């Protein structure tokens, strides 16, 4: 199964200014997160971000924060509760005016919902820090909530490689797909004929 840009949302977890210097290979991790956000913008994938206790750890790296549709703050390590209202589109309000007829008297198969929901983007592409804490807990919460979760391994980081890699083992066992930044970009674009293909090439060269 390939990633589909039309069905995807990107979640960037806790790339915070006071945390990143402590992350193993943090500069490369942040650079890949920035590439993810940029290609998401190219293909119209929504970009959400979280910040863990920003009063203590600072905000996300400014260049990354500028590409997010919205950033939510959290104190819990897992950010599923804070992200939930962003990931699912709001239900449309029922049209004004009195109801027509007695809907309760109709058979269930003839009853129409008052407000059909917007189509849901069910694939969550997730990257962040620290992999074995906030990233993993958030991803496990999303998997439990029956989202399709893809973890971008080269855009994730922990203070130690051992903690990071242990998190990947656990996430894969829980049902997450493990991918890389380039896998995501090329799958979202699908073809060298995509109008933004040269822009993507420039990002990864």
Residue 106 lies in a domain: no
Residue 49 lies in a domain: yes
Residue 116 lies in a domain: no
Residues whose CB is less than 8 angstroms from the CB of residue 9 and which lie 6 or more positions away in sequence, other chains included: 45, 46, 47, 48, 87, 121, 123, 124, 125
Residue 96 lies in a domain: no
CB 45 within 8 A of CB 187: no
Indicate the number of domains in the chain.
1
CATH number, domain of 166, equals 3.40.50.850
pLDDT in tens, 15-52: 999 999 999 999 999 999 999 999 999 999 999 999 99
Instruction: Please check the confidence at residue 102 and state whether its pLDDT lies above 90.
Output: no
Look-up of token digits 């004004």: 96
CB 32 within 8 A of CB 128: no
Q: Cis link prior to 86 (omega < 30° from 0)?
A: no
pLDDT in tens, 38-93: 999 999 999 999 999 999 999 999 999 999 999 999 999 999 999 999 998 766 55
CB 186 within 8 A of CB 169: no
Residue 126 lies in a domain: yes
Residue 115 lies in a domain: no
Domain interval for residue 33:
5-87+121-204
| Structure tokens belonging to residue 86 | 């962003």
Instruction: Please check the confidence at residue 195 and state whether its pLDDT lies above 60.
Output: yes
Percent of the chain at pLDDT above 70?
85
pLDDT in tens, 106-118: 566 556 555 555 5
Cα–Cα dist 166/110, whole Å: 51
Q: What is the mean pLDDT of the chain?
A: 91
| Structure tokens belonging to residue 56 | 């203590």
Residue 94 lies in a domain: no
Q: Tell me which of 96 and 169 has the higher pLDDT.
A: 169
Residue 153 lies in a domain: yes
State the pLDDT at residue 89: 74
State the pLDDT at residue 50: 98
């Amino acid at each position: 199964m390939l990633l589909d840009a039309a069905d995807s949302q990107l979640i960037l977890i806790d790339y915070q200014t006071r945390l990143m210097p402590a992350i193993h290979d943090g500069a490369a991790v942040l650079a890949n997160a920035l590439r993810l956000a940029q290609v998401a913008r190219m293909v119209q994938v929504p970009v959400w971000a979280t910040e863990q206790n920003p009063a203590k750890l600072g905000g996300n790296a400014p260049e990354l924060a500028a590409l997010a549709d919205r950033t939510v703050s959290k104190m819990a390590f897992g950010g599923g509760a804070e992200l939930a209202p962003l990931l699912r589109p709001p239900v449309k309000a029922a049209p004004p005016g009195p109801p027509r007829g007695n809907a309760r008297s109709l058979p269930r198969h003839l009853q129409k919902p008052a407000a059909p929901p917007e189509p849901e983007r069910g694939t969550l592409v997730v990257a962040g820090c620290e992999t074995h804490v906030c990233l993993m807990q958030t991803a496990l919460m999303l998997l439990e909530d029956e989202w399709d979760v893809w973890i971008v391994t080269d855009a994730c980081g922990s203070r130690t490689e051992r903690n990071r890699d242990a998190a990947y083992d656990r996430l894969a066992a829980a049902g997450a797909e493990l991918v890389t930044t380039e896998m995501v970009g090329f799958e979202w674009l699908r073809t060298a004929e995509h109008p933004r293909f040269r822009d993507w090439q420039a990002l990864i060269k």
